Structure 1
């Protein structure tokens, strides 16, 4: 039976890179993998989503409503936006991180309060602060790899050679930092 992982965030957060690394690792482990990505207005800070499905045989890359085993949200408001895709017995990993949308920045609306509480009331929710952890590691840009680590641990995929995947797909000068970020993410869940 196929497993479904939904990664969501805002343009510029590295959501697509994280899903590509995940897909490569799953393929390396011998799974049939399908990936679908939607960039939206990602170049302008808009919503980005990536759907990764894997198993012995995967027919479609698309996750239907109520079909995701796990939703990993790089930004809090995106978790709420995509929550209806999570199975009732699924889980959400949400990064406690805010990126205000244009209507919020223009003062037309406020950033919604109580998002984490609302998520927790509906589905098993793990809240992490990947931004803080990435800054502690020395580079806020590795937040996406920290979140990839949470997927690996949450889905029981630790046996895959993630070090090889990172080494093969990340610029050499950033490999060690990204390997530390991956480990940090696995430790956070």
Structure 2
């Protein structure tokens, strides 16, 4: 059976790196994996999404509306934007974090004040504060690894050697803090 994971965020949050590490780990575990990513003006704080599908045989990297097993959102408004991709019985993991988009910064739009409430009413939603967890580790840039940890735990992928994946794919000086962040994320779900 094919599983579908949708990772969404804003450019600069490390969404693409998290999805590439996830894909690498799944392939090393023997799954057929397809990944698709969209970088909409991502270098300027625009929306970023990665679709990761894995199983015995995966035909397409595309997650259809209403078919994601899990939506992991690095930013609250992005969770709202992609909510219609989640299955009825799917899960949403949302980082309680706000990044104002250009329309909001320019005064042409307002940030949705009730984002978490809407998510919790419409889907099985787990809210985490990855920024606070990253702060405890002394490095704000590890929020993406905390969120990757939530995926690993929520999807039952703990048997994969994630420490090896991080050691093989990150700069040596960043490995230890990222392993701690991954474990912190796994403990939040």
- Quickly name the TM-score band, shorter chain normalised: over 0.9
Question: How do 1:53-68 residues align onto structure 2 when only pairs under 5 Å count?
Answer: 53-68=53-68
Question: How do 1:136-147 residues align onto structure 2 when only pairs under 5 Å count?
Answer: 136-147=136-147
| Residue of structure 2 equivalent to 1:110 | 110
> In 2, distance between residues paired with 1:51 and 1:112?
25
Deviation string 1:69-128 (CA, Å, 9 cap, x unpaired) is 000000000000000000000010000000001111122322111111101111100000
Deviation string 1:18-56 (CA, Å, 9 cap, x unpaired) is 000000000010000000000010011000000000000
**Which secondary structure does the structure 2 equivalent of 1:168 belong to?**
helix
Residues 1:78 and 2:107 are matched in the alignment: no
Unpaired runs of 5+ residues, structure 2, are none
Residues 1:124 and 2:124 are matched in the alignment: yes
TM-score by length of 2: 0.99
| Residue of structure 1 equivalent to 2:24 | 24
| Residue of structure 2 equivalent to 1:8 | 8
Residues 1:40 and 2:40 are matched in the alignment: yes
TM-score by length of 1: 0.99
**Which secondary structure does the structure 2 equivalent of 1:6 belong to?**
strand
How many residues in Structure 1 have an aligned counterpart in Structure 2? 189
**Which secondary structure does the structure 1 equivalent of 2:13 belong to?**
coil
**Which secondary structure does the structure 1 equivalent of 2:163 belong to?**
helix
> In 2, distance between residues paired with 1:76 and 1:22?
21
| Residue of structure 1 equivalent to 2:87 | 87
> In 2, distance between residues paired with 1:48 and 1:111?
18
| Residue of structure 2 equivalent to 1:49 | 49
**Which secondary structure does the structure 1 equivalent of 2:12 belong to?**
coil
Unpaired runs of 5+ residues, structure 1, are none
Q: Which aligned runs of 4 or more in structure 1 are off by greater than 4 angstroms? A: none
Deviation string 1:154-174 (CA, Å, 9 cap, x unpaired) is 000000000000000010000
Displacement of 1:136 after TM fit? 1.3
Displacement of 1:132 after TM fit? 1.1
